[in-house]
A and B are shown apart, each in its own frame.
Chain A
């Protein structure tokens, strides 16, 4: 409990965390708003087979409100690797020499903070999307539970990605390296694996994240059809398992090492 308060204070006091929130809000708002002109009817015909006059079209606009997820992972990474970058690990582990306790407290706080980040940025995305839709004539209404579902998906995804990020930051204590490795993996390695082994894609992190966020993407030309992906809760379960494995490995490797 004491450690939770301490970790929460770190999240609130460190300014770069607020920067991540701003980044997530920005990406989410812009990502949602720009979908409207992209999908807006060009001379009567629908682009990408999606029409904003249909509920599914409007739903796919709002679905972009979860775009801030990468910031949730980075937040988790920073919560642990920041300790080594700034040298505060010394004070942290002098105060709480049983290191696994610190990791557990950080996992909990990271899940909480990343969930909050995702919820806030999703709401920003809704607002931006709603504003952008005002420019479209007779746009359809979103489906009934869309907002609720997206908020729940954001909260769940944030918590899970916060856990994963923290685990990565514990495993790779060098902050910059941890972030670069994560981004390269998510945006280069995973898509390559996806292209090479389309059948296994649903078990790769990006596939799991897509499934957890319940995004419907059907782009046969790219070999992606999320209809084959796992149901959201199963995907979240797999992602948590990834996080637990990373954190477990970290506790027996990088966290055992000397702290300077």
Chain B
């Protein structure tokens, strides 16, 4: 069964198509890289998937139902989006405690996830004082709160330094070993090549390729394949 299904999802802003008839399934238990140039429609697709944006047409499901219909969604899906999502005046821990309370998650779990993303030392610091990388870690901690089987990550490597990126790689591998489904968007193609099982590529809102990593690369690097498929210079 597919963990995530996009069913002819279309999102228009005015007359412009941000996502155009996206139809694809993401397999359970795999890490899927969601790739595409700037403005291709990755973030928009993901925001529709988790119910923050309403599609113009089509739909999407997680474990067979729309996100809005999930019972206690955080226990099934963890999400990191590219937008800001934490109150700058609250500490990292307070931000997570607000979310935990809404999802009926024990406060002890907040300390656990902060530990997991190595943010325990900054737990009581205000988020306004966090670096970009620390905010990314906090976002990841938030996504892990409900110990979900599915993770949706929009550019989680954004703002991480080389050490942070290496850390994220091991971190994702560990999560995936537990059989989780991970849908991750990124521009770090070399990094993706080392991480993902499957690949989706969209361009100008349209799906241009989907399959296993080796199907897509055909012996080239992921970057070469990406440039070929999206019409960039090779």
Give chain B nearest CB distance to A128 CB in angstroms: 30
Give 7 nearest A-B pairs by CB, closest first: A6-B102, A6-B101, A87-B84, A258-B53, A90-B85, A97-B68, A5-B101
With a cutoff of 8 Å between Cβ atoms, the chain A residues found around residue B47 in the complex are: 258, 260
Q: Residue of A at shortest CB range from B127?
A: A86
With a cutoff of 8 Å between Cβ atoms, the chain B residues found around residue A259 in the complex are: 52-53
Q: Do A260 and B83 form a contact, CB below 8 Å, given A13-B94, A13-B98?
A: yes
With a cutoff of 8 Å between Cβ atoms, the chain B residues found around residue A9 in the complex are: 94, 97-98, 101
Q: How many residues of B contact A (CB 8 A)?
A: 31
Digit string of A113-140 for contact with B (CB within 8 Å is 1, else 0)?
0000000000000000000000000000
B156 within 8 A of A: no
With beta carbons under 8 angstroms apart, the residue of A2, A15, A82, A260 that contacts B102 is A2
CB pair A97–B67 under 8 Å, yes or no, is: yes
CB pair A98–B68 under 8 Å, yes or no, is: yes
Q: Residue of A at shortest CB range from B88?
A: A86
With a cutoff of 8 Å between Cβ atoms, the chain A residues found around residue B102 in the complex are: 2-3, 5-6, 92, 95-96
With a cutoff of 8 Å between Cβ atoms, the chain A residues found around residue B94 in the complex are: 9, 13
A16 within 8 A of B: yes
Q: Do A88 and B89 form a contact, CB below 8 Å, given A10-B98, A94-B52?
A: no
Q: How many residues of A contact B (CB 8 A)?
A: 27
CB pair B53–A88 under 8 Å, yes or no, is: no
Indicate the member of B79, B81, B84, B85 with the most A CB atoms within 10 Å: B85
Q: In chain A between 75 and 105, which residues have their CB closer than 8 angstroms to a CB of chain B?
A: 82, 86-88, 90-98
With a cutoff of 8 Å between Cβ atoms, the chain A residues found around residue B86 in the complex are: 86-88, 91
